[in-house]
Amino acid sequence: MTKKKDIYSVESELTSILNNIVKKAQMKGNAPNTIDEALRLLINQMIGSGLRERTIRDYKINITHFIKQTKIHRLEEINADTIYRWLAEMQVSNQTKLTRLKCLKAFLNRCFDNGWLSTRFWTSIKIKVDKKTKPGTNESDILKLLLNLDLSSFVEFRDATAILLLYQTGIRVGTLGNLKESHLDLDRSKLILDGEIMKNHEVLILPFDDDLKQFFKVLIKQNNHIREEYNKTNNYLFITKFGDKVSNDINNNIKRRLHYYSKKYSIANINPHAIRRGFARSLLDQGADITLISKALGHSDIQVTTRYLHIDKEEVAERLRNYL
């Protein structure tokens, strides 16, 4: 006689739930007794996942500081009140408090993910910080740098072309390193960026002037000579003096060289991010609206653009006056 089938299958309906119950119980049973022990376990996890030494060191410093200042040693003793008390007793700027709070929150998030804490009570804890926006590079600084560069040197000529391109188009330095000569439309003096090399993966078309167009023509000719000399076959716009692709190191390379030029020629505000801000500010000063600038920068959020523009309250008032 065939055994009558149950109305529902325990195995299919309840096994996953049972496994979750067991898993939570096991995690709870293995939960560390102290914050120190939790920190030690998390550091082992972070080392295993290949986290940077500097990040791990920040965890050690800030969590140890929390324990010392609050005299709290058990995870379950941590709550919003103890965190606020810890922050209130710090004799440091709000920016430093925010940095330390972020580290503590990251630590608590990892504890929660391990099942050692039952709620994320810390998510509502905030510190208000007025973020200072660094000004962008101005045109006089760009011109000063370009006039000091030796354009008879391939590397410095390449750098001059890169600097002009950054200032005239506002593209990110990461995009710069992946540019190919095929991204240039010299007949129409336009840079055509496909989604593959853009941070937001959207196509962007940007114009450049005749001076930069001539720089591009010379750079392409020099690139061809170098590739032929070293038997290279790539099509990248910015290459090393040996004909290799520089995009793998373009962020550090360009930043490092701009830092070198900044020191050598006493130009304080020269770096890829400042040049990008300078591009945005230049457009604003020439009458471009924020929506257009945001599109040119490839921003998905216009609020990011307003921070780039470094507009203070007085300037907002003066600009609004023009519409009265």
For 196-247, what is each residue's pLDDT tens digit? Answer: 777 667 788 999 999 999 999 999 999 999 999 999 999 999 998 999 887 5
pLDDT digits 0-9 by tens, 246-267:
755 545 577 888 889 999 999 9
pLDDT at 195: 73
pLDDT at 230: 95
Structural domain of 95: 16-124
Rg (alpha carbons) of the chain, rounded to whole number = 28
Residue 8 lies in a domain: no
CATH number at residue 249: 1.10.443.10
Residue 314 lies in a domain: yes
pLDDT at 22: 45
Q: Are residues 113 and 166 in the same domain?
A: no
**Three-state DSSP state, 297:** helix
Q: Are residues 115 and 181 in the same domain?
A: no
Q: Are residues 44 and 101 in the same domain?
A: yes
Q: Are residues 186 and 285 in the same domain?
A: yes
Compute φ and ψ for 180, nearest 5 degrees: -110, 160
For the chain, how many structural domains are there in total? 2
pLDDT at 17: 53
Q: Does 69 or 200 have the greater pLDDT score?
A: 69
Tokens of 159: 């750098």
pTM, two decimal places: 0.59
Calpha distance 46→63 (Å, rounded): 15
Q: Is 6 exposed, middle or buried (0-12, 13-18, 19+ CB in 10 A)?
A: exposed
Q: Are 219 and 246 in contact (CB under 8 A)?
A: no
Residue 119 lies in a domain: yes
CATH number at residue 61: 1.10.150.130
Q: Are residues 188 and 120 in the same domain?
A: no
Q: Does 166 or 254 have the greater pLDDT score?
A: 166
Calpha distance 60→229 (Å, rounded): 52
Q: Are 160 and 149 in contact (CB under 8 A)?
A: yes
Calpha distance 193→180 (Å, rounded): 10
Number of H helices, E strands in the chain: 14, 3
Half-sphere exposure of 173 (CA within 13 A, CB side): 21
Last residue of a domain, one of 124, 149, 182: 124
- DSSP assignment, residue 133? P
